[in-house]
Structure 1
Amino acid sequence: MNRHNAARDGYEVFQWFLPAAERGDAYAQYNLGLLYKHGEAVERDDARALEWMQRAARQGLAAAQNHLGAMYCNGRGAARSDELAARWFLRAASQGDPAAQQNLGQLYRKGRGVQQSHEVAFGWFYRAAEQGLPSAQTLLGECYLQGLGAPVSHPLAMAWFRKAARQGHAPGQLNLALMYRRGDGVEPDEAQAVCWFREAAAQGIATAQRYLGMAYAQGKGVPQDPARAVAWLERAAVQNDTDAQYALGAQLAAGDGAGDDERALAWFLRAAERGHAQAQYWAGVMFTDGRGAARDPGRAFEYYLRAAEQGAANAQFSLGVMYAKGDGVSRDDARAAEWYRRAAQQGDASAQNNLGVLYANGQGVPHDDTLAAYWYGQAAEQGHALAQYNLGGMVNSGRGVERDPLRAYMWMLLAAGAGQEHRRGRGSVANRLGSGGGAWGRALATRVRAARRQPRQAPGH
């Protein structure tokens, strides 16, 4: 009944505007154009909407000129024409219409229908922002933040974002939250960031929902709450926020009271299909381990390959492992070495160690102790315990590097401290260090033995 009355009232409004518009009343023409444009009281008809907007715009009505510019800009009712859009936006903007000023600024920012100029765009954004248009205030804040048309100024960026945010403009709230989170021009403040993320998230902004979910997941600015983390990440994920889909998968796979491998894999796969490299990698991990689905090395290989080809070092390492083991693919040491090398060159310590092993054994690559020691060294410097042990062995025997019992003992000790026991090798090197390593070696051995007799204290004591 209410819908029937609304339709009848709407049609009566249309009937009231029509004769006035036909008599040349600009406001009636403009309102009639809006009815046709939005399909209110009459069937939507972009061509008729354009016609009535043109009539009103030619009479100098700024609001009609702005709408006419938008219709040309979007190709509604006529072929898209950025030049005509710019012309009508300019007429309305020159009369002080803030929406037209913002729209004209956008054309100058993008170089559509006009020569690109961030300075001119900034000027039009500023005029609209001064009139209180929150979307223009956000755009002006972005200009100050990124140095577009004006020098970078974090205080001014924050001031304009805050003005927009206080008017409830969700993109302004998101930008303000990000400034607090990054500490742009202010001390980082996770609590303030969460406050504004929450405001924007409540309005459905997927990026804000993702950041809010991650805040609950990590306990930054709010108490850690895995259930709320999942809830907010899922809101963003269903809006096809790819990073949220990946983060949701990671949160579900990690457990923390919300573990669900099947759902985790499903979200990893959705993000993976949208090209998210780490989601592709983790889909591979799930299929490798048989989590969320039956173990499937073939599908694992497929997803690792997708991520590896995008440059993901962890996926490149995993491909190397699969080729080295012949898991899901025919064993091929040469290809294993190739993928290990790609990951190693990006600094992946495990890949560096495994590449060193291949050079040390001549598997898939020519035997080369010098390169083996080099790659062990790269990984060892990053704290990779097995690489430290391997390097210690090379240094102790003088393979690929100058023999140095003192350095060998150092690497063995570091490896042992990282949980690598290798007691036989460590004792052998220690004996040589004490007897043949010279005064420095004996002194070091004495200090090390004394330190090992001291009880370990918990961190912070």
Structure 2
Amino acid sequence: MQKNLHRFILIRAILFGILTVGGSVFWFAMNNTSADAMSQGMAHYNKEEYVEAAQWFRKAAEQGQAQAQYHLGHMHDSGKGITEDNQQAVQWYRKAAEQGHAQAQLQLGGMYQRGAGVTQDKSEAIKWYRKAAEQGYAQAQDLLGMLYQLGVGVSQDDQQAVEWYHKAAVQEYAKAQYHLGQSYYNAKGVTKDEPEAIKWLSKAAAQGQPDAQKHALAVHFVATAPSDNRGDGGTRGQMADKDEVSQADEPKEAVHKVPEPASQPTQVPTVLSTKHDDEETNTDKPQKTVRQSRQEAAEQGDAQAQFNLGVMYERGTDVTKDEQQALKWYRKAAEQGLAQAQDHLGMMYYKSVTLDDQQAVKWFRNAAEQGLAQAQLHLGLMYQLGEGITEDDQQAIKWFRKAAEQGDVSAQKLLTAMNGQTTVNHQTPKPQLQSEPKQIIAQNRAGTQNDASDKGVGDKPAKVSSCPDNQYALTVNATPATSRIRVMNIGPKYQPGICLTPKRYDIYVTHRGYHGYRKWIAIEAADVSLDVALTPR
């Protein structure tokens, strides 16, 4: 009897051991399978093999892997490699967010803010933004600061805004550094302190943050600082140029004058970019250049870094100028919902590399619907010109008004012109060309700016004018004949023989596959005929 009891105990012990070991092996195998699937998914994703990436992410996500759940949510959100489905995006973001995944928490907050795949709920959006911010996620901290400063979903509180900006700024998050610099300059939530404002604005500008680079305080500081203190190896001494129509009645200098920091952010992004690191750049590693740090962050999926890298390639800053690389990185950031990248991608489609007006309209619209004033201006111009979309002045006015309400001067001037408050005679002759020439949206940033003097080769004053008193005809004779022609500082479209009052006019001629031509001319007391022959790229 006792022998049988010992045998029974021994058998149970053996079975327990087998089950325990077997369970451990099973758990390890499942966990390892999850890790392998995640690794396979990332490998395909980095090769832009999105269909395969989605399949592998799903395998890992279904096993509870939070990072894979986040990626699968993002792919449903963007429609990349998988059917776009906001409800599925919310489902997977939520699974990852409930496991404490900060990026997923931020994105889930964005879905609630937009009402995408879920009933719009600003309180729920704030809840998830806060969870991500309290984990130290810099992008969420900066966004929460903006919400407090604007009083969106929370009580307006400049001091709370500054606290969250500071948390993100010390992590070298460039947008937060810019916002913190604004706060110090404008005494929002803190005592006015210009040296402190310069400190944070210059940090943001040195990282390539576009808004910071447009402010004279930051640019001056970066330009005059010792080269070893500059984030870009000393190359950020000029203000960033802006994708917009020329708006003054006089020629602009090569470096545009810009306002000092605005009193507060004017909008909150409604589609959030995703990040794979907490930091925008790895400035704590001095052995790496800004380009190397940005490249690493971009390759890990950091949308802001992808956008900044695209800017570097487009301008040739610390890298060989490469429009294809710029297009690649703008697209990656744009597909994650970064409005600035969407607008830049639209411009790339419009003016260089892959010329596709319909794609330009698509990306301008994506950014414009997020509230980006510059993209609203560009979309309005596409409607006004009938480029990539049916010409529609009412839609043009709608988007110009949205941009104008945010203070965009170009949009304000175009809106005024379209409302009929202009000195241009609308009773101009009909176009004589087979296809009416139309002008490009923005200044060409690829070095196609021509002589800006008042008169030059090809300016031919005519003897007789068919225009009303105190107006004179302007005719631009372009080669190729189907070139786009626009007078950039007026609202109405150019037509051959357009009647204009005496002053200076910004003439811009472009054609696909050719270098653009830009010139200021003066109309004084005679008709003007301008001959322009574009050169192939």
TM-score, with structure 1 as normaliser: 0.49
Bigger Rg over Cα: 1
Higher relative contact order (CA 8 A, sep 6+): 2
Q: What TM-score results when the alignment is normalised by the length of structure 2?
A: 0.42
Q: Name the structure with the higher helix share.
A: 1
* More strand per residue: 2
